[in-house]
RNA sequence: GGUGAGAUAGUCAAGUGGCCAACGACGGCGGACUGUAAAUCCGCUCCCUACGGGUUCAGAGGUUCGACUCCUCUUCUCACCA
């Protein structure tokens, strides 16, 4: 029982530090019913969650299944600094009202996966603000610059001649201090968070809390391209708020290789079930497309509903397998007569008339399923279905 | 505080007076092929109803018939020294 729980907890993880502690906590739960805390921090600047974020949420849900109490931390204070991880941009200051709003939308999205009964949402400004200058100073004495520079991305930036702001040094310290305050037993995060996560251990020791949190790191989920991490700014993401059709279509567009990754990190199926599917594809008894469809359906159903997922699947096959027109698309109404390039731009199918012309030249534009050859074409009044490429559609009524 | 180097399109990165809307790579988009996959091949990739015009190479001035390229100042970044 404990072993099985441990296996599901370890599933897909990139690295675990202090595995024995996790084992002990599980043991205490199974034998004495004692619960424990698992902390995970989130940035209030990005309330639009995508599947990349849900990797962590799934892991948290697994922990909940095995007795954990989740400390869902919203880093409203630390957001003012900006996590040095990845790109360095100066963050805009968030107004308290915005943070509250973002936190609300977090809850809405997060509780599709997490059990609210076993979750506490906390904000770190609550205890960092009272720290004051002297508390902050004390915090900085627990660490030194040389060790700070050991951090991978600091080192890279330092050697690569990219600036590092002093405030960025504070970020890991504060994140670690959160663990001190919350007295967390385990903290989970992405592999890119390793340094910050370890800081929690360091500070729990420095502040003599009598424990050092175990750390579980999840790999960063690759985006739709399969190479770069899933992120909104790269546009390779599947948002949890995406419409069922989009969600389904996006999952289906990933590569076969990536599909297994998604299964491991996002599916609710057990490790054993996935092994069976894998074997099926390997010996040819299961078509990879079918397997991918199942995954797409599972994910779509999670964030919408079973029915919506089934509809999305039907719609998808209709549009793409039989190359028919989708039932759902944006409507526009414009005055005619209208130049085709302008129409495409107005319907948001193209960013500029220049781009529209190029695409017409390349045979990418269709009106009512018929390829447009004349880039000077004028649209008279009537109703049209405009299409660019394979997936961009719009319905246009010309007056 | 001193000295030196640098800032080019989504990113990286050529170009050091006209041949530059600016090589190339990546990304992105489109086409072929498919399972709307991947891989591969081909085309496109600042804007504008366009065999032409407009606005670009950190910002502001200047030199010149002409500047991304030369000069001055400003802003930002980095390295070395303190």
Domain architecture of chain A: domains with CATH: 2-218 (3.40.50.620), 244-321 (1.10.240), 330-398 (3.10.290.10)
pLDDT band of A112, cuts 50, 70, 90: confident
Mean pLDDT of A61-90: 75
Report CA(A264)–C1'(B31) in Å, whole number: 35
CA distance A298 to A264: 13
- Which tens digits make up the pLDDT trace of A255-281? 888 888 899 899 888 888 899 999 998
Report CA(A345)–C1'(B20) in Å, whole number: 29
What pLDDT is recorded for position A182?
94
CA distance A334 to A128: 54
- Which tens digits make up the pLDDT trace of A316-337? 888 776 767 787 788 899 887 8
Task: Name the closest nucleotide to A296, judged by C1' and CA.
Answer: B37
Provide the whole-model pTM. 0.75
Nucleotides of B under 7 A from a protein CB: 27-31, 35-38, 43-50, 77-79
Per the CB < 8 A criterion, the answer to whether A3 and A35 are in contact is no
In this structure, of A31-45, A137-151, A173-187, the range with the lowest mean pLDDT score is: A137-151
- Which tens digits make up the pLDDT trace of A341-361? 999 999 889 889 999 999 998
Q: Which residue has the higher pLDDT, A364 or A46?
A: A364
Mean pLDDT of A24-28: 94
Q: Which residue has the higher pLDDT, A133 or A166?
A: A133
What is this model's ipTM?
A: 0.84
pLDDT band of A91, cuts 50, 70, 90: very low
Task: Name the closest nucleotide to A341, judged by C1' and CA.
Answer: B49
Q: Which residue has the higher pLDDT, A271 or A233?
A: A271
3-state secondary structure of A13: coil
Helix ranges (DSSP H) in chain A: 2-10, 19-32, 51-65, 96-110, 125-128, 132-140, 145-148, 152-159, 166-182, 194-206, 244-252, 256-266, 271-282, 288-303, 306-316, 340-346, 353-361
CB hemisphere CA count around A302 (13 angstroms):
25
CA distance A186 to A37: 6
Nearest residue for B79, CA–C1': A161
**What's chain A's average pLDDT?**
86
What pLDDT is recorded for position A162?
65
Task: Name the closest nucleotide to A259, judged by C1' and CA.
Answer: B37
pLDDT band of A161, cuts 50, 70, 90: low
> Would you say residue A25 has pLDDT above 90?
yes
pLDDT band of A192, cuts 50, 70, 90: confident
Task: Name the closest nucleotide to A293, judged by C1' and CA.
Answer: B35
Mean pLDDT of A226-254: 82
A293, with CB counted inside 10 A (0-12, 13-18, 19+), is middle
Mean pLDDT of A2-26: 91
CA distance A57 to A115: 10
Mean pLDDT of A121-129: 92
> Would you say residue A157 has pLDDT above 80?
no
């Amino acid at each position: 029982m404990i072993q099985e729980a441990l296996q599901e907890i370890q599933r897909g993880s990139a690295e675990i530090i202090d595995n024995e502690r996790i084992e002990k906590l599980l043991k205490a739960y199974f034998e004495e019913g004692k619960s424990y805390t698992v902390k995970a921090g989130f940035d209030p600047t990005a309330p639009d969650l995508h599947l990349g974020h849900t990797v962590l949420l799934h892991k948290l849900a697994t922990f909940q299944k095995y007795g954990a109490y989740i400390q869902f931390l919203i880093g409203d204070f630390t957001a003012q600094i900006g996590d040095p991880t990845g790109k360095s941009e100066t963050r805009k200051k968030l107004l308290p009202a915005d943070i509250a709003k973002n936190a609300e939308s977090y809850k809405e999205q997060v509780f599709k996966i997490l059990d609210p009964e076993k979750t506490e949402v906390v904000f770190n400004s609550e205890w960092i603000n009272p720290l004051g200058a002297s508390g902050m100073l004390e915090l900085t004495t627990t660490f030194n610059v040389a060790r700070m520079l050991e951090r991978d991305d600091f080192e890279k930036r330092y050697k690569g001649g990219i600036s590092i702001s002093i405030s960025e040094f504070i970020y890991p310290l504060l994140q670690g201090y959160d663990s001190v305050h919350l007295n967390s037993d385990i903290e989970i995060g992405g592999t890119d968070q390793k340094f910050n996560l370890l800081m929690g251990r360091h500070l729990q020791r420095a502040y003599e809390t009598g424990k050092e949190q175990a750390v579980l790191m999840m790999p960063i989920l690759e985006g739709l391209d399969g190479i770069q991490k899933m992120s909104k700014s790269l546009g390779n993401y599947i948002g949890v708020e995406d419409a069922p059709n989009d969600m389904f279509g996006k999952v289906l567009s990933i590569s076969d290789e990536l599909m297994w990754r998604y299964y491991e990190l996002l599916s609710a199926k057990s490790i054993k079930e996935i092994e069976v599917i894998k074997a099926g594809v390997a010996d040819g008894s299961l078509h990879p497309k079918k397997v991918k469809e199942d995954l797409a359906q599972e994910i779509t159903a999670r964030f919408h509903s079973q029915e919506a997922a089934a509809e999305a699947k039907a719609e998808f096959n209709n549009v793409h397998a039989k190359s028919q027109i989708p039932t759902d698309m944006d409507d526009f109404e414009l005055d005619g007569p209208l130049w085709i390039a302008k129409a495409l731009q107005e319907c948001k199918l193209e960013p500029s008339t220049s781009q529209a012309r190029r695409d017409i030249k390349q045979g990418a534009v269709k009106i009512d399923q018929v390829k447009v050859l004349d880039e000077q074409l004028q649209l008279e009044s009537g109703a049209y279905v405009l299409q660019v490429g394979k997936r961009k559609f719009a319905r246009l009524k010309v007056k």
